[in-house]
Amino acid sequence: MIDARVKFAAAVGILLLFTAACDMKAEKQATVSPPVQNLTATLEDEIHDLPNGEIKWSTYWRLCWDNYAGATEYELQPLTSEGASDKLRRQSERCFRLEVAAGQNPRTEGLRDRELQLAMRSSQLAYRVRAVLAGGKFSEWSKPLSVARPADNERP
């Protein structure tokens, strides 16, 4: 029963994220085609042993994309069900890493509640990427990719 509710919540959240992305205001900066392409997302787990048979664990969502010719940097924009954030993250690297689940519990319980945390995050948050070019220009935005979901080569 909980699995069906988690899947439903994730589906509703993703629909809201993409709706918000489509309703964003037009960019005033000069943009060039094409958008940043070939976004790939993976999940990476880190587990650390603690005393008394406990573990502390974290799951990271890693988003990467192809090099964009002429890019000096990249901007990432978080998207939520409430819309697109005005706070952009600017970086020179072509990958972005975000903690999406974490816990501390007995080792025998594995990564307890990891799947539930991932489902909740994937329904709440997505990112899109664009290239920063010389002369105050930007590439078009990539398609948004939901956080906490691994994806292979999202192509426009």
* Model confidence, pTM: 0.76
Q: Is 103 exposed, middle or buried (0-12, 13-18, 19+ CB in 10 A)?
A: middle
Per residue in 4-29, pLDDT tens? 555 555 554 555 455 544 444 444 56
* Tens-digit pLDDT profile for residues 57-92: 999 999 999 999 999 999 999 999 889 999 999 999
